[in-house]
């Protein structure tokens, strides 16, 4: 099982770069320590220092050069720069491991003030990162980790069976796993400091079961904060339906007032006590009363339709229930609702068709 740990170090670690000439000399070694470092290791280390001193610093390539230098030399003095570049690339687990071995193997050769500063910073790291344990149905995977909002390029890791433990910086991470045959699964999760996570990339699961891979699971198999609930589609339709119903009710009030106004105007032209209307205005009065009657019919339609829609919308809002994002609990069939206005010489209203 491989294990990565993380550290967030301040600018004082740049002293390793500033003293690159001294470190290169130490790599060559002295007779007292009898260190034998290959020419290749010295070249790797020199390349790494030059990449760090470039403008802007090339941390990605410098990291690989320092790693090769350490593999060739196994000198603890390389671990400082290797840890620094790993930290800059947000490979925090590796950075922590390098710093820890640097302090352990350096012993009394490390300045007490530098040791104390690194130990304080390493304590800060444990409170700003979390361990993520990865397993899979595949024996080997290529993993690519991306943290939202970071300028660091996506970082690769290799899973070789069993369990891979990564200590990652807090934030929203997207980890893509690629199997040997090219199949891919993606897990998006929010890493909270100090909260361990576990996830299994199961390439043997059915498509329905792997749909949740984009959300992932938190510790003990519980959904993490990336798998959250939201208002279901039925509830969304309910809000729309209730809104349309409310608009219809408002329209009913408007048309009702218009009908009442026309009726009053028509009757004002007549003698209400004698119940006699002027003959010359009879046709105009009849037309106004007919219009008022049509508006009254429309008002009734809007009142009834608006009331039904409003009641249906409230029912869907109350009983629609939440929908879990990234979970197989969400069914493929989505509720739908369509509203069509109807206006004919004898009928005015709204026609609704839906499936739930």
**pLDDT under 70: residue ranges of the chain:** 1-37, 207-232, 266, 269, 271-276, 279-282, 320-356
pLDDT of residue 302: 82
Torsion angle of C-alpha atoms 83, 89, 93, 99, degrees rounded to 10? 10
CATH class, domain 130-226, is mainly beta
Domain coordinates in residue numbering, the chain: 2-124, 130-226, 231-355
pLDDT of residue 211: 54
pLDDT of residue 286: 79
Tell me the pLDDT tens digit for each residue of 190-225. 999 999 999 999 999 876 665 555 544 444 344 444
| CATH classification code of 2-124 | 1.25.40
Nearest to 1 by CA among 131, 178, 92: 131
CA distance 315 to 303: 18
Q: What is the gyration radius of the CA atoms in the chain, in angstroms?
A: 37
Tell me the pLDDT tens digit for each residue of 120-155. 878 877 888 999 999 999 999 999 999 999 999 999
Alpha helix (H) ranges present in the chain? 15-18, 20-28, 39-53, 59-73, 79-88, 92-106, 112-126, 207-210, 233-268, 282-319
Nearest to 96 by CA among 134, 130, 136, 50: 130
């Amino acid at each position: 099982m491989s294990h990565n740990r993380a550290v967030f170090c301040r600018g004082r670690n740049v002293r390793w770069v500033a003293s690159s000439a001294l470190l290169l000399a130490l790599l060559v070694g002295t007779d007292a320590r009898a260190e034998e470092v290959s020419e290749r290791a010295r070249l790797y280390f020199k390349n790494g220092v030059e990449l760090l001193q470039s403008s802007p610093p090339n941390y990605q390539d410098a990291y690989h050069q320092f790693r090769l230098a350490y593999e060739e030399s196994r000198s603890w003095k390389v671990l400082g720069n290797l840890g620094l570049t790993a930290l800059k690339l947000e490979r925090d687990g590796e950075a922590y491991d390098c710093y820890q071995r640097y302090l352990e193997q350096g012993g009394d050769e490390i300045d007490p003030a530098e040791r104390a500063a690194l130990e304080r910073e390493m304590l800060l790291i444990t409170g700003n990162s979390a361990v993520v344990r990865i397993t899979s149905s595949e024996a080997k995977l290529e993993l690519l980790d991306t943290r939202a909002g970071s300028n660091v390029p996506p970082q690769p890791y290799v899973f070789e069976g069993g369990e891979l433990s990564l200590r990652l910086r807090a934030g929203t991470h997207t980890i893509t796993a690629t199997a040997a045959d090219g199949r891919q699964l993606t897990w998006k999760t929010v890493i909270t400091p100090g909260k361990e996570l576990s996830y299994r990339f199961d390439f043997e699961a059915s498509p329905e079961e792997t749909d949740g891979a984009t959300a992932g699971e938190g510790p003990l198999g519980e959904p993490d904060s990336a798998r959250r609930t939201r208002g279901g589609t039925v509830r969304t339709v309910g809000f729309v339906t209730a809104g349309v119903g409310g608009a219809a009710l408002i329209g009913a009030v408007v048309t009702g007032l218009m009908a009442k106004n026309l009726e009053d105007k028509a009757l004002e032209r007549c003698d209400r006590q004698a119940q006699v209307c002027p003959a010359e205005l009879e046709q105009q009065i009849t037309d106004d009363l007919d219009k008022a009657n049509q508006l009254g019919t429309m008002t009734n339609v809007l009142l009834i339709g608006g009331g039904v829609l409003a009641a249906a919308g409230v029912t869907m809002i109350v009983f629609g229930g939440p929908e879990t994002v990234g979970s197989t609990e969400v069914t493929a069939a989505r509720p739908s609702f369509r509203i069509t206005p109807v206006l004919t010489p004898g009928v005015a209203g709204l026609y609704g068709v839906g499936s739930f």
